[in-house]
Structure 1
Amino acid sequence: MDASTRPPLSAAHLSAIVENSSDAIISIDLDGRIESWNAAAQRIYGWSADEMVGRNVWPLIPEDRRDEEAAILERVRNGDLVSRFETLRLGKGGMEIPVSVTVSPIRNADGLVIGASKIASDLREQYDLRQELLQSQRHFAALAQNIPQLAWMADSKGWIFWYNQRWYDYTGTTLEQTQGWGWRDVHHPDHVDRVAQKVQHSWDTGEPWEDTFPLRGKDGNYRWFLSRAQPMRDKDGKLVLWCGTNTDITEEREANERIRMLMREVNHRARNMLSTIQAIVHRSTKSANPELEASIINRIGALSANLDVLSESSWAGADVTAVVRSQIEHLAEKKAQVTIKGKDGIVFKPAVAEALGLAIHELATNAEKHGSLSVAGGGVIVDWRTESGDDGDMFVLDWTEHGGPEVVPSDHEGFGSIILNRYPRMVMQGMSKVDFARDGLRYTLRAPLARMLANGLDIAGNPVSA
């Protein structure tokens, strides 16, 4: 049966469709009086059919929307269909309700317009979601446009499609100029290829990106920026977006350079002072006690070696490997008999590094004079590591001599013993042990790792547990 032969729907059937619709369906005459009011209209607006049928539609219309309603009625009188539009209507308590409305003319059997049918969809839920979205957008815009960094976003392939206003204010460019790979134009020619290669690696692998380089401002001058980008992934782990920032570190670099210059000057003067002290010791003893003179001068030299190592990091800390190597330099060709097997990447606080350096110097000097380094076939193994135990992570250093003459314990505690035994307790809160074994002296140092590390980090910047 096609549409032309299908019998028309009964009035009861049509009434049921209207009454069970989820949208408010209202009919009015050309003067705006309400003639029908379905259940959904009551649910949305709050008035019952008994309250509204026969009344004018104006109680539903906000004061500032009355011209809108008058224009709608005029179009309906002209036989026009008013397509879906969004507006506000009033509920029973006077609350404004966002709705989507379609208005159609109602015609009699002769085709004359005798009224209007209004179908209204409740938009409150969508409106709330839209408001939340707009609020989120406003929050994002407020954050993105007011952070001190230059900020940008790129798609999963690294194509940059958005910059914040600070980027444009600094570079003086437009999105058309710098979208995609256009940002290369504001990079310094000495750095751009390196930067592009490194960032492309991150685009390809999905690894976070970090680099430091100069960017040209709109005034033509370059400033240094620390730049980072993090990959954003969806719930399935697929990379969908990159978010990046450029932080101006020009003043910080300049301040650090001034500090480095000052530290170099201080270290230079400190070394000169140590040299002066060595000269004073030499002249004061006048070779009356050559052994004492050499001992004092060598220990001052150990302090100077520590100073050189710490100067490299501006006194932020010293790597254990660098400390050990610096304190065997005075052995000259005999340092070839020393085997270093320690764990790399352990950075100690300056005071700890100084104490360790003096201990290594003392051991090396004794080995050269009396121990395994006093003979051609002897040797030393210096090994250090970290160990986990009930007391937390510990730093353990072993100095093991072999192939030397038989070791004879000293019958008194000299300054060297103080350096080897008391310093670990005072500076490192650790313990030391000296074993005068027949085949060579063995010295072991154990101390809590967390107390010794520079800022609680290893050389790679990774936290080390206490």
Structure 2
Amino acid sequence: MDVLDPLTISEEQRAAVIRAYDLSGYRDSGCLDDLAAFAAELCGTSVALISLVEEETQQFLAAIGFEERQTPRQTSFCARAMVAGDPVMVVPDASADPRFADFPFVAGPPHIRFYAGARLLSHEGVPLGAICVISPEPRPQGLTDFQYRGMEILATAVMGRLQDRRAQLEHMRTVEASEARVADSEQRFRTLADTMPQMVWSTQPDGFHDYYNARWYEFTGMPDGSTDGEGWNGMFHPDDQDRAWARWRHSLATGDPYQIEYRLRHHDGTYRWVLGRALPIRDAEGRITRWFGTCTDIHEQKLALEEREIVSQELSHRIKNIFAVISGLIAFAARSHPGFSGIASDLRDRITALGRAHDFVRPHSPQSQPKARQDSLHGLLGDLFEPYRGDTDARIRLDGEDVLVDDRSATPLALLFHELATNASKYGALSVMTGHVDLTVARQQDVVTLCWQEHGGPALEAPPQRSGFGSQLVELSAVRQLGGSVRRDWHAQGLIVTIEVPLAAFSRPAGVGPCR
């Protein structure tokens, strides 16, 4: 901080600094009496004062041998001492000094003659007053060097104590202001929380619940404060309590966001589904200082979703039955028309493949859920290739990266690889017991490459002269429906089919679902 020139400081500046010390009534504390007494003893005087010079008066913060609590500033020695050029102003004989000879305390009692005052400067350089010694006897010799230096040190000691008081007061004001801001912020938060439609709550870092907004008490019908601490868990459905506790303890231990659906007891005694969420608030060092959470009533949406799932499962089950009926009708037609049996067999196999693809991605109940993930390309192909598995190992070996799939891509993928597997069974590697197929999946940026490579089948002397319906179906599935490309390489060792498909064709973006 820059130090100011005492001679250029305005009274407004001095008054502002003096207020920072809040020295009203400070004399009664006696905090500076020992320094005043030591000054009197050091200089051998009967009077010693520590003065604070204000706009109209000077008040004494400590006084030895002097009863007055304050005197007018216009007749103050200390008012001159605090702006003097030297650290200590010495007046050997005030009666012979034209600056002070007419002062009442010089002309009359206590008949001041000798005065020595060390100025008191704040750390900004603002003059506040002086620590001084007074005697009714003149001292032509003034102060000794030891006494002069001692008065300087005492002035520094006085300011040290006053500065400690100022710092303490500023700290208290800062704390009070901070507490006021916190209280205002807390009030604003509570007002905002009470206007929200969700139930809002907060906890201490250890998870102790200490706040719920008005919506919580309206929903639960519980008295204020009755669910603080761990009482909140008693509001959950008994079947959800252990699960909610385990999830909450995990979040407290790891700092992970908290999210769970559970049934919460309503004030009418029923249980309603709610979505609970919470996030931690951290300080600059990353320590959790609070948790803030919400509970959102999702009961109606939950029931609607469950109803939709039931309907969806029922429709999917009926579609699966339709596939079975169509396959049966084809088989019946083939028996009635023997010449149709070859085509019927191929058609029935293709419908069966479509049925397997549909069954893989359709909505399931917990009892009918497939073992593999329903959004997994590996899972879909593994299920599709199950009929080609040998006695000891898989005839079609799947390797490489997995890719997310959905109901949109499952059908063309099932048709595509069903045709490749069927052709391999009739003419290629799967037509002999020693043959097998390697199917490799590789993803590079936005393109997925699927490489079908046959090994150990009959030697190929030349590519077929024409393409059949199966080849056309492969083109239809890969190119028209998936937007990809197909390349066939006919080698003596076996057929290689390279299929490139845009990654976006396999599944919809997150959050985009199928049309209902």
Q: TM-score range by the shorter chain?
A: 0.5 to 0.7
Aligned: 1:343 with 2:401: yes
Q: TM-score if structure 1 supplies the norm length?
A: 0.66
Question: Given that residues 400 and 443 in structure 1 are in contact (C-alpha distance below 8 angstroms), is that contact kept between their aligned partners in structure 2?
Answer: yes
Provide the residue aligned with 1:15 in structure 2: 55
Provide the residue aligned with 2:355 in structure 1: 304
From 324, 345, 360, the equivalent of 1:294 is 345
Aligned: 1:329 with 2:386: yes
Counterpart CA distance in 2 for 1:364 and 1:180 is: 63
Alignment CA distance shift 1:413-1:199 (3 Å): same
What amino acid does structure 1 have at the position aligned with 2:249?
Answer: Q
Q: C-alpha offsets along residues 174-220 of structure 1, whole Å, 9 cap, x if unaligned?
A: 45322122111112222212221221111011111222221222222
From 237, 241, 247, the equivalent of 1:192 is 241
Q: TM-score if structure 2 supplies the norm length?
A: 0.60
Counterpart CA distance in 2 for 1:234 and 1:302 is: 57
From 372, 382, 387, the equivalent of 2:429 is 372
Provide the residue aligned with 1:401 in structure 2: 454
What amino acid does structure 1 have at the position aligned with 2:454?
Answer: E
Provide the residue aligned with 1:415 in structure 2: 469
RMSD over aligned CA atoms reads 3.5
Q: How does 1:77-156 map to 2 (within 5 A)?
A: 137=186, 139-156=188-205
Provide the residue aligned with 1:426 in structure 2: 480
Counterpart CA distance in 1 for 2:176 and 2:258 is: 39
How far does residue 2 in structure 1 lie from its aligned partner after superposition? 4.7
Question: Given that residues 214 and 223 in structure 1 are in contact (C-alpha distance below 8 angstroms), is that contact kept between their aligned partners in structure 2?
Answer: yes
Question: Given that residues 36 and 50 in structure 2 are in contact (C-alpha distance below 8 angstroms), is that contact kept between their aligned partners in structure 1?
Answer: no
What amino acid does structure 2 have at the position aligned with 1:331?
Answer: Y
Provide the residue aligned with 1:437 in structure 2: 491
SS in 2 for 1:443: strand
Q: C-alpha offsets along residues 416-445 of structure 1, whole Å, 9 cap, x if unaligned?
A: 212322322222222122222322222222
Question: Given that residues 213 and 224 in structure 1 are in contact (C-alpha distance below 8 angstroms), is that contact kept between their aligned partners in structure 2?
Answer: yes
Unaligned runs of 5+ in 2: 1-33, 41-46, 60-72, 74-173, 366-373
Counterpart CA distance in 1 for 2:51 and 2:376 is: 93
Aligned: 1:320 with 2:377: yes
Question: Given that residues 162 and 175 in structure 1 are in contact (C-alpha distance below 8 angstroms), is that contact kept between their aligned partners in structure 2?
Answer: no
Aligned: 1:284 with 2:333: yes
What amino acid does structure 2 have at the position aligned with 1:419?
Answer: L
Alignment CA distance shift 1:10-1:421 (3 Å): closer
Aligned: 1:238 with 2:287: yes
Aligned: 1:208 with 2:257: yes
How far does residue 329 in structure 1 lie from its aligned partner after superposition? 3.1
Alignment CA distance shift 1:232-1:332 (3 Å): same
How far does residue 311 in structure 1 lie from its aligned partner after superposition? 0.9
- The structure that is strand-richer by fraction is 1
Question: Given that residues 386 and 394 in structure 1 are in contact (C-alpha distance below 8 angstroms), is that contact kept between their aligned partners in structure 2?
Answer: yes
Q: Relative to structure 2, which stretch is displaced further, 191-200 or 266-275?
A: 266-275
Counterpart CA distance in 2 for 1:206 and 1:222 is: 29
The count of residues paired between Structure 1 and Structure 2 equals: 349
Unaligned runs of 5+ in 1: 20-35, 37-124, 460-466
Q: How does 1:248-267 map to 2 (within 5 A)?
A: 248-267=297-316
How far does residue 249 in structure 1 lie from its aligned partner after superposition? 2.3
How far does residue 397 in structure 1 lie from its aligned partner after superposition? 1.7
Counterpart CA distance in 1 for 2:239 and 2:500 is: 48
SS in 1 for 2:193: helix
SS in 1 for 2:509: helix
Q: C-alpha offsets along residues 331-361 of structure 1, whole Å, 9 cap, x if unaligned?
A: 36477222222434x3234332211111111
Provide the residue aligned with 1:98 in structure 2: none
Counterpart CA distance in 2 for 1:367 and 1:283 is: 27
Q: C-alpha offsets along residues 296-342 of structure 1, whole Å, 9 cap, x if unaligned?
A: 0111111111211221379xx84312321232233364772222224
Counterpart CA distance in 2 for 1:259 and 1:323 is: 24
What amino acid does structure 2 have at the position aligned with 1:406?
Answer: A
How far does residue 9 in structure 1 lie from its aligned partner after superposition? 6.1
Aligned: 1:274 with 2:323: yes
Q: Relative to structure 2, which stretch is displaced further, 209-218 or 131-140?
A: 131-140
Alignment CA distance shift 1:128-1:205 (3 Å): closer
| Percentage identity across paired residues of the two chains | 31
Question: Given that residues 287 and 293 in structure 1 are in contact (C-alpha distance below 8 angstroms), is that contact kept between their aligned partners in structure 2?
Answer: no
SS in 2 for 1:424: helix
Counterpart CA distance in 2 for 1:299 and 1:249 is: 43
Q: How does 1:447-462 map to 2 (within 5 A)?
A: 447-456=501-510
Q: C-alpha offsets along residues 157-183 of structure 1, whole Å, 9 cap, x if unaligned?
A: 111111122111112224532212211
Q: How does 1:51-62 map to 2 (within 5 A)?
A: none
Q: C-alpha offsets along residues 238-277 of structure 1, whole Å, 9 cap, x if unaligned?
A: 2111111222222222212221222222223322332332
Higher Cα Rg: structure 1 or 2? 2
